[in-house]
Amino acid sequence: MPWFLYLALKQLFPTGRRFPFFTAISVTGVALGVAVLVIVTSVMGGFGYEIRRMIVQTEGEVQVKANGLMEDPSAVLGMVRASPVAAGATPFVEGPVGAVCNGRPAYPEMRGIDVGSVASVANLARFVRAGRLEDLDDDSVILSWELAQRLGAGIGAEIEVYSPLLFERLKADEIVLPRRLRVAGLFEVGHQHLDSSVAYVTLRAAQELYGLGRAVHGINVRLKPEVGDAEGAQQLQAALPQGAVARPWTHKWESFLWVLNLEKTINFFLLLFIVVIAAFSVMSSLLISVVRKTREIGLLGALGASPRDVALCFCAQAFLIGTAGTAIGVGLGFTVLHFRNQLVQGIAGALQRQDTLRQFYHFTDLPSHTLPSDLILTVVLAILISTLAGLLPAWRAARLKPVEALRSE
Amino acid sequence: MSETVLSASGVRKSYPSGDRRIEVLCGADLRVAAGESVSIRGESGSGKSTLLNLLSGLDAPDSGEIRWDGLAPSAGRRARFLGMVFQSFYLIPELDALQNVLMAGRMLGSPGAESRARARDLLERVGLGGRASHLPAQLSGGERQRVAVARALMNSPSLLLADEPTGNLDERTGEAVIDLLLGLSRETGTALVLVTHNPAHAARTGRALTLHDGLLR
Ligand SMILES: Nc1ncnc2c1ncn2[C@@H]1O[C@H](COP(=O)(O)OP(=O)(O)OP(=O)(O)O)[C@@H](O)[C@H]1O
Ligand SMILES: [Mg+2]
C-alpha cells in the first residue's frame, strides 16, 4: 500500500479512536444522498416495471391489430404462431359496455377472451381472487374487484349487459333485451387502472354483443422470454400480411412511460444535489484538516514525500469517504426499499389515508424495481463527486511549502 | 580523510523585510565527512534553522551550492539520504510509535517484515520497546523525541540533521536524547549536524561551530 493511502485511512480511522467523528459526519452526508437516490430511482423504476408486468401478464408483450376489424383471425393467428419469436397468441375483442346489477349502472371495459388459447399468453387465473377462470362460459362474466363492489355483485349474481349494438338496433325500432350474464369470478391485478372497471367474457359472447360474427379486434402475443419487446414486434410485423400491424406494449403507454421517465430523470438530478451538498461538507472538513495538519504536512515533506503524494493523500480521503458513504447509502436504500410497504402503510395508516394512496398511485403496494444502470450511475456519480470535493483540499496541501508548514504555529 | 557527505559553499539566504531584505546567511561554508558529528550554535535568529532547511534541500539558497554526496539535493533522494529531528517532534498523532517510525520507511515503498523488524529494533534501541503501540498523545515529550530519533534513523540515512532537539525538553531528558543521538549516529556511522543552544551538548560533538553574522566559524 502506498504511504498516502495508508495515511489517508489512518487519518479517517485513527488508531485507538473508537468513533471517528469527522469521518462519520462526512460519510453520513454522502450515505443519505445515495440512499435517497437509490430509493427514488427504484420506486420510480418500480412504477414503470409494474406497468409492464401488469400489461404483459394480462395482454402479452405485443398486440397485433388490423386496420379496423380482423375478419379472418385464424389465418393471422396461424402466421403469428408460426413465427419463431412468438410463444403464444390469442384473439381478443374489446370495447365498452353498459352493465346493470341491483339497479346500479356501470360502464366497464369489456374484454372478450378465447378461453382455449388465452392461457398461452396471459396467466389470468393468477389474478382471479374468487371463483374460477375455467367456469367462464358464454353466459357468464368475470368482474374486476372494484367494479363488482360498485355493482354490488358477488359470485352467482346476474348482471344485465348492454352493448353499443343494442342501441343500433333500438334505433331501427327493434325490441331488444339486454344480455344476462352470471358472475363467475372476481379478479384483482393490483393496479387501479385494471381493477376499477374491467369485465372478462368469452370471445364468443363478446363477438355476439358487438355483432362481429367471426371477426375480432386483434391478437395478443406472448413473446419467447429471450426476445426483446420492440425486437419481437418488429419480427412479427415482417411476417404479417398487409394491413396488420404488430406493436409492443410500450406503444399504447408511450406518453405515460415518457412522462414517467422524465419525472425520474428530473428527480434524479434534483436529488443528486444532496450528494453535491454532502460533497461540500466533505470538502470543508478536509480543508479544516489541511489547516489543522499543516505541520504534519510539512513533516511529510521533510520525510521525502512529493507534493503529488501529499495531494493524493487528501484525494484518497475524499475517495474513501465517498466510497464508504456510497456503500452505506446503497445498503440503507435497499433496507428502506425492503421495508417500504410497512413504512408507507404505517404512515398512511397513521394518517388514515390508505385509499388516497391507492387512488393516486394506482398500486396497492409501493412498487420497486432497481435498474442496474440507475444503480451504477448513482454509485459512480456519488463517488466521483465526493472525490472531486477532495481536489481543493489536496491542492492546498500540495501547495504548502514544507519549510513554511514546519514554521507555522 | 573520509569522503564528504555534505558540503555547502558560499551559501547566501535573505528574507524580505518591509522594502529591504535581511541577510540571514552571507556565504556560509560547511563540509561534513561521513560519520562525523558537527554542532552549530548561535544566537536566536542567527539563521541556524534557515541553514538546516537549506542543507536539507527543503529550501533553496539565493546563491551558493549544497551537495549531498557530491550531488545536488533532490526531493526524490531525501528519504534515503537524510533523517531529520526537530524541536517539536512532529509525530503524526493518528499513528502509534511503531507506525510513526515505519512512516519514514513507507516513503520508500510498502514496508515488509524486514522494515517492521527494523522499526521495532530502533524503538528498542531508543528505550521504547514496550511502548510501540502507544500513540504520541500517550508519550512524554522525551519519549516522543526518542520516537522521532528512531524515525530519523529508519532508512539508514547518511546524514542526520537535528534542529534544537532538546529545546522542548528538561535538562535530564534532553541529556538522554543527546546521548541517544550521538550514540546511535556513531554506532551506525551516520553523520550528524546538531543545532543546539547548550554549550555542554555542543562540546560533545566532534566539531563545534558557531553561526554568527551569517557565517559559520
Ligand atoms: N520565511 C521567513 N520569512 C521572513 N523571515 C524569516 C523567514 N524565516 C526566517 N526568517 C528570519 O530569518 C532569521 C533567522 O531565522 P531562523 O529561524 O533561521 O533563526 P534561528 O537561528 O533558528 O533561531 P532560533 O534559535 O530562535 O531557532 C530570523 O530573523 C527570522 O525572522
Ligand atoms: Mg531555529
Q: Distance between CA A274 and CA A326 in Å, rounded?
A: 12
Separation of CA B197 and ligand 1 centre (Å)? 15
Separation of CA B101 and ligand 1 centre (Å)? 28
**Nearby residues of B38 by Cβ (< 8 Å), 6 or more positions away:** B30, B32, B191, B192, B193, B194, B205, B206, B207, B208, B209
List the CATH number of the domain containing B208.
3.40.50.300
Neighbours of B214 (CB within 10 A): 20
Residue A383 lies inside a defined structural domain of this protein: yes
Separation of CA B170 and ligand 1 centre (Å)? 24
pLDDT in tens, B95-115: 999 999 999 999 998 888 999
pLDDT at B2 over 80: no
Closest by Cα among A172, A146, A184, A161 to A95: A161
Residue A220 lies inside a defined structural domain of this protein: yes
Beta partners for residue A308, in sequence order: none
Q: CA of A1 to nearest chain B CA: how many angstroms apart?
A: 6
Is B59's CB within 8 Å of A403's CB? yes
Q: Which residues of A touch B78 (CB under 8 A)?
A: 302-304
pLDDT in tens, A279-303: 999 999 999 999 999 999 999 999 9
Residue A249 lies inside a defined structural domain of this protein: no
Residue A163 lies inside a defined structural domain of this protein: yes
Is A3's CB within 8 Å of B106's CB? yes
Which ligand is closest in space to the CA of residue B55? Answer: 1
Beta partners for residue A89, in sequence order: A221
Residue A44 lies inside a defined structural domain of this protein: yes
pLDDT at B171 over 80: yes
Is A14's CB within 8 Å of B84's CB? no
Quote the pLDDT of residue B110.
87
Residue closest by Cα to atom 4 of ligand 1: B15
One domain, residues A107 and A222: yes
Q: Distance between CA A305 and CA B78 in Å, rounded?
A: 9
- Of A215, A242, A269, the one marking the end of a domain is A242
Cβ–ligand 1 distance for B24 under 6 Å, the answer yes
Q: Distance between CA A385 and CA A281 in Å, rounded?
A: 12
Separation of CA B15 and ligand 1 centre (Å)? 9
Query: What residues in chain A have per-residue pLDDT under 50?
Result: none
Residue A305 touches chain B, beta carbons under 8 Å: yes
- Looking at the structure of chain A, the number of domains it has is 2
Cβ–ligand 1 distance for B46 under 6 Å, the answer yes
User: Which one-letter amino acid corresponds to residue B76?
Assistant: G
Beta partners for residue B68, in sequence order: B6, B71
Residues A36 and A275: beta-carbon distance below 8 Å:
no
Which ligand is closest in space to the CA of residue A407? Answer: 1
Is B93's CB within 8 Å of A7's CB? no
One domain, residues A124 and A161: yes
Pairing of strands B37-41, B191-195: parallel
Residue A250 lies inside a defined structural domain of this protein: no
Q: Which domain holds residue B168?
A: 4-216
Is B94's CB within 8 Å of A305's CB? no
Half-sphere exposure of B33 (CA within 13 A, CB side): 6
One domain, residues A294 and A208: no
One domain, residues A214 and A183: yes
One domain, residues A238 and A269: no
Quote the pLDDT of residue A357.
64
Residue A248 lies inside a defined structural domain of this protein: no
- Looking at the structure of chain B, the number of domains it has is 1
Quote the pLDDT of residue B194.
95
Pairing of strands A62-70, A216-223: antiparallel
Quote the pLDDT of residue A408.
78
One domain, residues A139 and A195: yes
Q: CA of A407 to nearest chain B CA: how many angstroms apart?
A: 10
One domain, residues A228 and A269: no
One domain, residues A286 and A362: yes
Q: Which residues of A touch B76 (CB under 8 A)?
A: 304, 306
Q: Which domain holds residue A297?
A: 3-51+256-406
One domain, residues A76 and A214: yes
Determine if the pTM surpasses 0.80: yes
For residue A262, count CB atoms less than 10 angstroms from its CB and return exposed for 0-12, middle for 13-18, buried for 19 or more: exposed
Cβ–ligand 1 distance for B18 under 6 Å, the answer no
Closest by Cα among A99, A71, A97, A76 to A86: A76
pLDDT at B1 over 80: no
**Nearby residues of A40 by Cβ (< 8 Å), 6 or more positions away:** A264, A267, A268, A271
pLDDT in tens, B117-163: 999 999 998 889 899 999 999 999 889 999 999 999 999 999 999 99
One domain, residues A347 and A231: no
Quote the pLDDT of residue A164.
83
Residue A360 lies inside a defined structural domain of this protein: yes
Cβ–ligand 1 distance for B155 under 6 Å, the answer no
Beta partners for residue A200, in sequence order: A111, A142
Quote the pLDDT of residue A358.
65
One domain, residues A117 and A89: yes
Residue closest by Cα to atom 5 of ligand 1: B15
Residues B192 and B211: beta-carbon distance below 8 Å:
no
Cβ–ligand 1 distance for B214 under 6 Å, the answer no
**Nearby residues of B87 by Cβ (< 8 Å), 6 or more positions away:** B163, B164, B165, B167, B168
Cβ–ligand 1 distance for B112 under 6 Å, the answer no
One domain, residues A208 and A91: yes
Separation of CA B197 and ligand 2 centre (Å)? 10
Closest by Cα among A204, A189, A180 to A93: A204
For B79, the closest of A11, A15, A304 (CB atoms) is A304
